[in-house]
Structure 1
Amino acid sequence: MCGIVGVIGRGEAAPRLLEGLKRLEYRGYDSAGIATLVDGGIERRRAEGKLVNLEKALAEWSLDGDIGIGHTRWATHGVPNEANAHPHATHRVALVHNGIIENYRELAAELKAAGCVFASETDTEIVAHLITRNLEEGMGPREAVAAALKRLEGAFALGIVFAGEHELMIGARRGSPLAVGFGDDEMFLGSDAMALAPMTNRIAYLKEGDYVVVTRKGASFYDHDDNAVEREIKQSAISGAMIGKGNHRHFMLKEIFEQPAVIGDTLHSYLTPATGEIVLPPMPFDVAALPKITIIACGTSFYAAMVAKYWFEQVARVSVEVDVASEFRYREAPMPEGGLGIFISQSGETADTLAALHYCREQKQHIVAIVNVPESSIARESDVVLQTLAGPEIGVASTKAFTCQLATLACMVISFARARGAIDEAEEDRLAFALAHVPAMAAQVLNHDEAIRDLAHAIFEKRDVLYLGRGTGYPLALEGALKLKEISYIHAEGYASGEMKHGPIALIDEEVPVIVIAPTDRWFDKTVSNMREVMARGGKVIFLSDVTGVDAVGEDAFAAIELPSVDPFVAPLLYAIPVQLLAYHVAVLKGTDVDQPRNLAKSVTVE
């Protein structure tokens, strides 16, 4: 969600801050703002809504200064408006904040009693007042910030500038990521390397509890106990080039159509074409001796985890538990020592997933991360990182990241199955061969785009849509429903097909479209039986299957989309694509903001 950029530069800061904020739009936001130091004081420009509104404000009332901070806000405390937009400021301090200050009510009451007057409804503003009070009691900027940090409870990343301190910026993190960028006689702060890429590729990340004092000449890092510490400067591989939509109307459609290429890139990083062998990074544990695997994720990544549960248990013959990160750690689940925790996250910064990782670490689990950003917090805190080579995903609704997660998990399953003796070399070759053909098959699926666009007309005016599937088709039903909800705002639900007659079938009538995911796998006949129950009650079925399935029952459905015939093991990677396209075209017909749907953020960095 929220994004931070800070600059101590050699020219006007505002244009560079705005450029950095544009690169953070993918995280989701509902207001934005910039503050710079001008003539010994603090000047701000803020605007509700998209960055174009902030650009207009800057065009009407320019903002000078070569040091400043910028922010894209996703509202948590207080409605999204200009008054609640960041940066928040007093006469001495301006700051931007990602996260939530959990004890802000107590601190606000204390500050009000001391005479502070608040101009917003946010939890963030109390931090500015707290630091200001420390300054007025005679503390220097570093001491004032350090003292304030010790009063804060919750998750935060902060970027802070001080009136009259033209060579100084302070950053801090607890639970939310923050990076420092090193330039030539200039320095930067950012939520991630993406924001800083146009300005520098030399990045250092704050560790949990750190704060950093940044000047034009460099950065001094301190831990939670105020001890000076060293943090490694790394070369970031993220490109400074802005990411465009190409000839596509939306980033989401572009990213859907990139899937054959990025799935191929991801597979080729683990699958040796010449031999068909799956090669993962060395695992610092005995795969054959694993007592249990726990897979943790949120949102779309959770549905990738659900698919992987079927794969790991059926192919690798290892017990797997799958849980949403936001619930997992609060259950205080007992975990067998030496088990494996797999954490899946597109951004690698998901707060709930990171907190669950910490719990698993306390429970003496080995940790493997599947992330799209190798420099992310989750990646840095894991024993092994399996990177998905999806490239930057700008659309809030995940598409190519999901299928690349599935590709990575499929490789992991095959490798683990071989190591555990659950499959022999011939079966490994067969599964690897099926995986190797997925990119070409995915390109074939995209040829149905026009037919799926036509089908969207039968859905976009409906109030309710159901998705059904069995086996690995069940998580895809959940993912299809999520995609439709996310970007079209139509109520949709995914169900295991066999659960229909346990209640949900009561929802079926002629006004409820039902998308049935039915590759000709071991569950096909049972899925068709459930489909016929739906049609008998007037439900309009959109049937997704291969040539065998469509030939068998496609004529009975309202519409059928014929997908390539593939091994059932790899079917989830292909059947994800038509449900993505269907959601996209329905959303376009409804006129919603496809790439940045309301209330949603790309990277959820607060609980």
Structure 2
Amino acid sequence: MCGIVGAIADRDVVPVLIDGLKRLEYRGYDSAGIAVLDQDDIRRVRRTGRVSEMEAAAQAEGFNAQVGIGHTRWATHGGVTEANAHPHCSHGVALVHNGIIENHEQQREKLRAMGYEFESQTDTEVIAHLIHSHLKAGADLLGAVQKSVKELHGAYALAVVSRKEPGRLIAARMGCPLLIGLGEGENFIASDVSAIIQATRKVIFLEEGDTADITRESVRVFDGDGQTIERETHLSDVSLASLELGPYRHFMQKEIHEQPRAIGDTIEAVIDNGAFGAELFGKNAEEVLRDIEGVQILACGTSYYAGMTARYWVEQIAGIPCTVEIASEYRYRAAVANPKQLIVTISQSGETLDTMEALKYAKSLGHDKTLSICNVPESAIPRASKLVYYTRAGAEIGVASTKAFTTQLVALFTLTCTIAKLRGRLDAEGEASYLDCLRQLPGSIQHALNLEPQIKAWSDKFAPKNHALFLGRGVHYPIALEGALKLKEISYIHAEAYPAGELKHGPLALVDEQMPVVVIAPNDALLEKVKSNMQEVRARGGQLFVFTDEDSQFGESEGVHVIRAPRHVGVLSPIMHTIPVQLLAYHVALARGTDVDKPRNLAKSVTVE
């Protein structure tokens, strides 16, 4: 959840570190710091709050160095204080750390007995002292890091420097993403390629258990057994333009408006293929998908709601059972395995720890039919899966997911149709119809974006409220959940979502004139049922805010506010109706004056439990 950047060069790396940390701000953080080797001594500056505050302090103190590491911290162990901010130091060793060390208390007791004193409440400071203890015993910096990580239980990405070996930068990873950027006479490390894209596009993704010895001129990677290993070099396709705001006020607004293109890019392979085919998911995909007896989807947060939507499609179109489970719950229960069940993991980053661990657990139970839906090539979850479908959403900077969610839905619909076709449940006419739906989807999304002025007009009615309800039925119920989540995330209004039919089973007690009720009410088979539920709200004085379609047969009235999408888009209606709830959350947050792209307490890439 935190961000790491490091550099070793013949030039001043402080601007590189600062710029990298600024590009990592979207991940969510509450403090920032850098440590540099200046004339064989370590200089460090840390601040709570924004990177800009730490930058000002570094400039005031005249930081200039050719080796350094930087970090943005999202607090886990210990509060938001300067003492708990990274980097952490121990007798000439400085390091930054993403992840959580589960046995830090035992290590802390051991190190205290050895005479080490602790200045912070963090688990990270344990690692700094542990590395120093091995240096003191005679190991070099690489060896000290390799020995230390073998004593750690948990997840980590580490970047380490030492004043005794100023020409080296050591990296290590287990469970948290870390990559190396390759330059000419200079090299870099980062938790996310966006942090170093201004310096290089050539990157090496470290694997589980890897350590790396990085100098200006060379990079050596070692596996978990300490053996030298070659890792493939990749050319990143992340563009600097995708990391800039352009004409938009916030990245969330930009990313909402990028959805027609993101969806078009994600379906490009399907449309070019002219058919749904197993080859879209990788080699030997037909062998994996043809004889499955069910689908189990594992995901967290917004990705979980994408899976909930897909359940309706899979069971209706493909005709096989589909279950959807929160990854952090699945990994800790005694699941009953069916080896013919397809395990589908969904993650925007491909590094979501709970989802990765759930996948490992599923494989340990004997599941070998695994497929990941992900937005980041070469990330951990796709590498651990037999099949993969990459959403081509591009860089998503805003913490609240928008285009990642809708492209995940597109990927899941493509998977559904492919399974249905392999099972003989999708004939040529049906396939052509669904392909046409996909072709028209980017245009339908653009039509939905054109509703923004009307949605913005609603925001003033929501801004003074402290609570809201979202209602949907059938396949649109998960979209109501997603709408409530978006409103919570960025406006801090408490919002809950329910299947509309559940309203009378308890939530109706909350409804009064102070409780806005948002209803997803497309013109489908359940519309009349939803209308009845809306009457229950109006009878209690509740204010209704209804997203519907042009051909729905009801209009505005006292206490009933209606916005109509230009047309009903059939089976893909959940994707199109996602756009209005995203825009509603965005404009309500603007009206309330919250930090839209960096909501409090949240992070973009969740690499801790």
TM-score (norm. length: structure 1): 0.97
Aligned to 2:253: 253
Greater shift, 192-201 or 40-49, is seen at 192-201
- Please show how residues 116-155 of structure 1 align to structure 2 within 5 Å: 116-155=116-155
Greater shift, 41-50 or 473-482, is seen at 41-50
Question: Do residues 315 (structure 1) and 321 (structure 2) align?
Answer: no
Q: For each residue in 1:279-338, what CA deviation from the matched residue of structure 2 results, as whole angstroms up to 9, or x when unmatched?
A: 723415342310111111111111111001100110111111101111111113122113
Query: Residue 299 of structure 2 aligns to which amino acid in structure 1?
Result: A
- Please show how residues 570-581 of structure 1 align to structure 2 within 5 Å: 570-581=572-583
Aligned to 2:426: 423
Query: Residue 334 of structure 2 aligns to which amino acid in structure 1?
Result: E
Displacement of 1:241 = 4.8
| Secondary structure of the structure 1 residue equivalent to 2:575 | helix
Q: Decide which of 397, 412, 428 is 1:394's aligned counterpart.
A: 397
Query: Residue 369 of structure 1 aligns to which amino acid in structure 2?
Result: S
Q: Decide which of 502, 505, 518 is 2:505's aligned counterpart.
A: 502
Displacement of 1:555 = 3.7
Query: Residue 98 of structure 1 aligns to which amino acid in structure 2?
Result: N
Q: For each residue in 1:67-86, what CA deviation from the matched residue of structure 2 results, as whole angstroms up to 9, or x when unmatched?
A: 11111111111112222111
Query: Residue 426 of structure 2 aligns to which amino acid in structure 1?
Result: I
Contact residue 77 and residue 121 of structure 1 kept, 8 A: yes
Output the CA distance in 1 between the equivalents of 2:269 and 2:98.
34
Aligned to 2:383: 380
Aligned to 2:192: 192
Question: Do residues 355 (structure 1) and 343 (structure 2) align?
Answer: no
CA 1:602–1:507: 2 relative to 1, 3 Å: same
Output the CA distance in 1 between the equivalents of 2:111 and 2:91.
16
- Please show how residues 297-316 of structure 1 align to structure 2 within 5 Å: 297-316=299-318
Aligned to 1:566: 568
Displacement of 1:366 = 1.5
Contact residue 210 and residue 223 of structure 1 kept, 8 A: yes
Query: Residue 62 of structure 1 aligns to which amino acid in structure 2?
Result: G
Q: Decide which of 444, 447, 463 is 2:447's aligned counterpart.
A: 444
| Secondary structure of the structure 1 residue equivalent to 2:314 | helix
Aligned to 2:224: 224
Aligned to 2:596: 594
Query: Residue 68 of structure 1 aligns to which amino acid in structure 2?
Result: G
Greater shift, 560-569 or 314-323, is seen at 560-569
Aligned to 1:235: 235
Query: Residue 153 of structure 1 aligns to which amino acid in structure 2?
Result: H
Aligned to 2:58: 58
Output the CA distance in 2 between the equivalents of 1:180 and 1:245.
26
- Please show how residues 469-508 of structure 1 align to structure 2 within 5 Å: 469-508=472-511
Query: Residue 500 of structure 1 aligns to which amino acid in structure 2?
Result: L
Displacement of 1:364 = 2.4
Output the CA distance in 2 between the equivalents of 1:83 and 1:394.
28
Contact residue 94 and residue 162 of structure 1 kept, 8 A: yes
Aligned to 1:535: 538
CA 1:123–1:573: 2 relative to 1, 3 Å: same
CA 1:284–1:332: 2 relative to 1, 3 Å: farther
Contact residue 34 and residue 70 of structure 1 kept, 8 A: yes
Greater shift, 474-483 or 527-536, is seen at 527-536
Q: Decide which of 332, 343, 346 is 2:348's aligned counterpart.
A: 346
Contact residue 306 and residue 409 of structure 2 kept, 8 A: yes
Q: For each residue in 1:339-358, what CA deviation from the matched residue of structure 2 results, as whole angstroms up to 9, or x when unmatched?
A: 21111111111011111111
Displacement of 1:556 = 6.2
Return 5+ residue gaps in structure 2 as ranges.
Answer: none
Contact residue 87 and residue 96 of structure 2 kept, 8 A: yes
Contact residue 418 and residue 425 of structure 1 kept, 8 A: no
Contact residue 546 and residue 563 of structure 1 kept, 8 A: yes
Displacement of 1:361 = 2.1
Question: Do residues 287 (structure 1) and 317 (structure 2) align?
Answer: no
| Secondary structure of the structure 1 residue equivalent to 2:43 | strand
- Please show how residues 515-534 of structure 1 align to structure 2 within 5 Å: 515-534=518-537
Displacement of 1:197 = 1.7
Contact residue 543 and residue 557 of structure 1 kept, 8 A: no
Q: For each residue in 1:387-418, what CA deviation from the matched residue of structure 2 results, as whole angstroms up to 9, or x when unmatched?
A: 11111111100111111111111122122211
Contact residue 10 and residue 216 of structure 2 kept, 8 A: no
Contact residue 96 and residue 160 of structure 1 kept, 8 A: yes
| Secondary structure of the structure 2 residue equivalent to 1:167 | coil
Displacement of 1:554 = 4.2
Question: Do residues 33 (structure 1) and 36 (structure 2) align?
Answer: no
Output the CA distance in 2 between the equivalents of 1:242 and 1:556.
44
Contact residue 518 and residue 527 of structure 1 kept, 8 A: yes
Query: Residue 198 of structure 2 aligns to which amino acid in structure 1?
Result: P
| Secondary structure of the structure 1 residue equivalent to 2:36 | strand
Aligned to 1:203: 203
Output the CA distance in 2 between the equivalents of 1:430 and 1:108.
62
Query: Residue 496 of structure 2 aligns to which amino acid in structure 1?
Result: E
Output the CA distance in 2 between the equivalents of 1:142 and 1:246.
43
Contact residue 349 and residue 603 of structure 1 kept, 8 A: yes
Contact residue 434 and residue 566 of structure 1 kept, 8 A: no
TM-score (norm. length: structure 2): 0.97
Aligned to 1:371: 374
Output the CA distance in 2 between the equivalents of 1:245 and 1:219.
34
Query: Residue 517 of structure 1 aligns to which amino acid in structure 2?
Result: I
Contact residue 523 and residue 568 of structure 2 kept, 8 A: no
Output the CA distance in 1 between the equivalents of 2:106 and 2:276.
58
Aligned to 1:44: 44
Query: Residue 510 of structure 1 aligns to which amino acid in structure 2?
Result: E
Displacement of 1:193 = 2.1
Query: Residue 189 of structure 2 aligns to which amino acid in structure 1?
Result: L
Question: Do residues 546 (structure 1) and 549 (structure 2) align?
Answer: yes
Displacement of 1:216 = 2.0
- Please show how residues 448-463 of structure 1 align to structure 2 within 5 Å: 448-463=451-466
Residues paired across the two proteins, number? 605
Output the CA distance in 1 between the equivalents of 2:275 and 2:527.
29
Question: Do residues 114 (structure 1) and 119 (structure 2) align?
Answer: no
| Secondary structure of the structure 2 residue equivalent to 1:528 | helix
Greater shift, 516-525 or 226-235, is seen at 226-235
Query: Residue 348 of structure 2 aligns to which amino acid in structure 1?
Result: Q
| Secondary structure of the structure 1 residue equivalent to 2:72 | strand
CA 1:429–1:557: 2 relative to 1, 3 Å: farther
Query: Residue 196 of structure 1 aligns to which amino acid in structure 2?
Result: I
Displacement of 1:467 = 0.2
Output the CA distance in 1 between the equivalents of 2:276 and 2:226.
49
Greater shift, 437-446 or 333-342, is seen at 333-342
Aligned to 1:215: 215
Output the CA distance in 2 between the equivalents of 1:419 and 1:552.
41
Contact residue 452 and residue 581 of structure 1 kept, 8 A: yes
Displacement of 1:601 = 0.2
Contact residue 179 and residue 193 of structure 1 kept, 8 A: yes
Greater shift, 213-222 or 278-287, is seen at 278-287
Query: Residue 270 of structure 2 aligns to which amino acid in structure 1?
Result: Y
Q: For each residue in 1:112-140, what CA deviation from the matched residue of structure 2 results, as whole angstroms up to 9, or x when unmatched?
A: 22221112111101110111111112222
Aligned to 1:173: 173
Return 5+ residue gaps in structure 1 as ranges.
Answer: none
| Secondary structure of the structure 2 residue equivalent to 1:72 | strand
Output the CA distance in 1 between the equivalents of 2:454 and 2:327.
37
CA 1:240–1:255: 2 relative to 1, 3 Å: closer
Query: Residue 395 of structure 1 aligns to which amino acid in structure 2?
Result: G
Output the CA distance in 1 between the equivalents of 2:497 and 2:570.
20
Question: Do residues 162 (structure 1) and 162 (structure 2) align?
Answer: yes
